[in-house]
Structure 1
Amino acid sequence: MSNHDHDLAPNHDLAQRMAELARATALPRDVDEVLAGVTATAVEMIPGTDTCGVLLIGKGGKFESLFGTSDLIYKLDALQEECGEGPCIEAALDELIVRTDDFQTERRWPKYSRAVSEIGVRSGLSFKLYTGASTAGALNLFGTEPHAFDMNSEAIGSILAAHAASAIIASRHGEQLVSALTTRDTIGQAKGVIMERFNVDSMRAFEMLRELSQSTNTRLVDIASRVIETRGPSSS
C-alpha cells in the first residue's frame, strides 16, 4: 500500500527508458537486444523484481529461457518444465497477465509453487508476449518477497511487454526468434568471459556488452563474438 507510493516517482525516468526501447524496437533485426533490454529495464524499473527473463515454448513443448537477468530465472523455468505447470506457461499459452502474490499459498500450480517457495521465491508476475503457430512466449518477473507486485507493477510491465511483443511481431512474425535463440549462447559466453575477467555480476557484464555495442555502433552479437575471441583457445 503506502510502501508502493515511491513507485510513482521515477515516471520521467520511465518515460525516457520507454523512448529508448521504442527506438530499439524500430530495428526488427535487433529483436534479441530489445528482449534483453526489456528484461534489464524490468528489474531496474519495477520495485520488488529480483530476476526477470523471457520464456519461449516451442513445438512439442520445448522450453527456451532467454535473456535472464540472473541465473535464478533459468532455474525457475527449468522447474516449470519439470513440474509441467506454472505462471509463465499459463501466460504464454492462455492468460494475458498472471500475478502470484505468494507462492507459499498459491493453489493454481501446487507442485511448482512448493518448489519455488523452497528456494526462496515468493512473488511472480508474467505477461504474454507472443503466441504464434509454433512458438509462444512470456515475460516473467519474480521476487523474493511476498506481495512484491501491485497494479503499478502490472502497468509498467504491460508497457515493457508491449515493446517486446512488437519487436517480435515486427521480426517476420517471430521467425527471428530463431536468431535470438542462436545468439543467446554467444551473448551468454561473452557475459561469462566478462564476469570472470572483471569480477562483475551477470547484469553488469551484459550492461558492459551493451555499452560497447552502442558506443561502437556494432551489433550486440558481433561484440559478444569479439569478446569470446579475446579469450583465446581454451585448452581443457
Structure 2
Amino acid sequence: MSAAGGGLNELARTLSDIARTLQAEPDVDATLRAIVKAAVDYVPAATHAGISLLEQGRIRTVEPTTPTVEIIDQLQYELREGPCIDAIAEHETLRVGDVGREARWPSFGPAAAENGIHSLLSYRLFVTDRTLGALNLYSDRIDAFDDRTEQDGLLFATHAAIALVGAQREANLSIAVESRDVIATAKGILMERHDIDDASAFRMLVEASQSTNMKLQKVAAWLVENRAEARSS
C-alpha cells in the first residue's frame, strides 16, 4: 500500500471515529462541545476553536475552547468583519496566515493580532442549502495552516455540520413530543373537571391562549402545574 493510500485510510478511520463520537452525544450543547474539542484535537496547529451559531439572523459564539475565542469572535460581531462573518455570508472557507496584515479586514485583523491570534481557518457549517453557522479555528502562530490542513479540516467540518443538524432535529422532536404531551394532559384535566369532550377542552385551551396572548403550550403547562390550586379556587 502506498504512503498516500495509508494516509487516506488513516484519515477515513479518524473521521469515522469522530462522526460516531459526535452522533452519540445526548443533546445539542454536548454535540457542540464535542465538535470544538475534536477540532482542536484533530486539526494540526489549531490552538483555539469555537462555533459561531446562526440563529434567526443573529450570530453568537457557543462552546469556545478558550476565552480567547470569545474575544476574537466578539471583535468580528462588533466590527462586522472577519472570517466567520465572511464564511457565513459568502458561503466559503477562509484561511489566513497573518491576519494582522489581511487587507480584507482592516479593523479586525490588527485587533486579532493584538490579542495573540495570527492564523485562522473558518468553515461554513451547512447541510444542503441551510447554513448553521461557522466553525472557527485559531492559532497563535503565523502561517500555521497549510493546504492539507485546510482540506482535512473541511472534511471534519462536513461531519460536524451533519452531527449538529441531527442533534438539532432530535431536540426539536423532543420539544414537539413534550408539547403534545402537556397539551394532552391539560385537555384531560379540563375534560374531567368540566365534563366536556376532547374538542371542547381543546377549544377552551385555544380561547385561553388567545385571551392571555400566551402560546398554547405555555397555557397548557400552566394548567398542569397549577391544577391543584385551580381546583381549590
What TM-score does the superposition give when structure 2 sets the normalisation length? 0.62
1:66 Cα offset (Å): 1.2
Match of 2:60 in 1: 64
1:68 Cα offset (Å): 1.2
Match of residue 168, structure 1, among 164, 168, 186: 164
Q: Any idea what the Cα deviations from partners look like across 1:142-163, whole Å, max 9, x if unmatched? A: 1111111111111221121111
Match of residue 40, structure 2, among 38, 43, 46: 43
- Check the 8 A contact 1:101/1:123 in 2, yes or no: yes
Spell out the pairing of 1:12-91 with structure 2 (5 A cutoff).
14-27=11-24, 30-61=27-58, 63-91=59-87
Between Structure 1 and Structure 2, how many residues are aligned? 169
Letter in 2 for 1:44: D
Match of residue 97, structure 1, among 93, 97, 108: 93
**SS of residue in 1 equivalent to 2:125:** strand
Match of 1:233 in 2: none
Rounded Cα–Cα distance in structure 1 between residues aligned with 2:49 and 2:129:
25
- Check the 8 A contact 2:125/2:131 in 1, yes or no: no
Change in Cα spacing, 1:32 to 1:159, as seen in structure 2 (3 Å) is farther
What are structure 1's unaligned runs of at least 5 residues?
A: 1-8, 180-236
What are structure 2's unaligned runs of at least 5 residues?
A: 1-5, 176-233
Rounded Cα–Cα distance in structure 2 between residues aligned with 1:71 and 1:10:
34
Task: Work out which structure has the larger RCO, using CA pairs closer than 8 Å and 6 or more positions apart in sequence.
Answer: 1
Rounded Cα–Cα distance in structure 1 between residues aligned with 2:30 and 2:124:
19
Rounded Cα–Cα distance in structure 1 between residues aligned with 2:23 and 2:44:
27
Change in Cα spacing, 1:130 to 1:174, as seen in structure 2 (3 Å) is farther
Change in Cα spacing, 1:136 to 1:26, as seen in structure 2 (3 Å) is closer
Q: Any idea what the Cα deviations from partners look like across 1:90-133, whole Å, max 9, x if unmatched? A: 11222321111111210111111011011121111000003799
Match of 1:109 in 2: 105
Match of 2:199 in 1: none
Aligned-CA RMSD value:
3.1
- Check the 8 A contact 1:28/1:168 in 2, yes or no: no
Q: Percent identity?
A: 32
Match of 1:195 in 2: none
Change in Cα spacing, 1:18 to 1:34, as seen in structure 2 (3 Å) is farther
- Check the 8 A contact 2:22/2:35 in 1, yes or no: no
Change in Cα spacing, 1:15 to 1:122, as seen in structure 2 (3 Å) is same
Letter in 2 for 1:88: C
**SS of residue in 2 equivalent to 1:125:** strand
1:26 Cα offset (Å): 3.9
Letter in 1 for 2:37: A
Letter in 2 for 1:39: V
1:60 Cα offset (Å): 4.5
- Check the 8 A contact 1:92/1:131 in 2, yes or no: no
What TM-score does the superposition give when structure 1 sets the normalisation length? 0.61
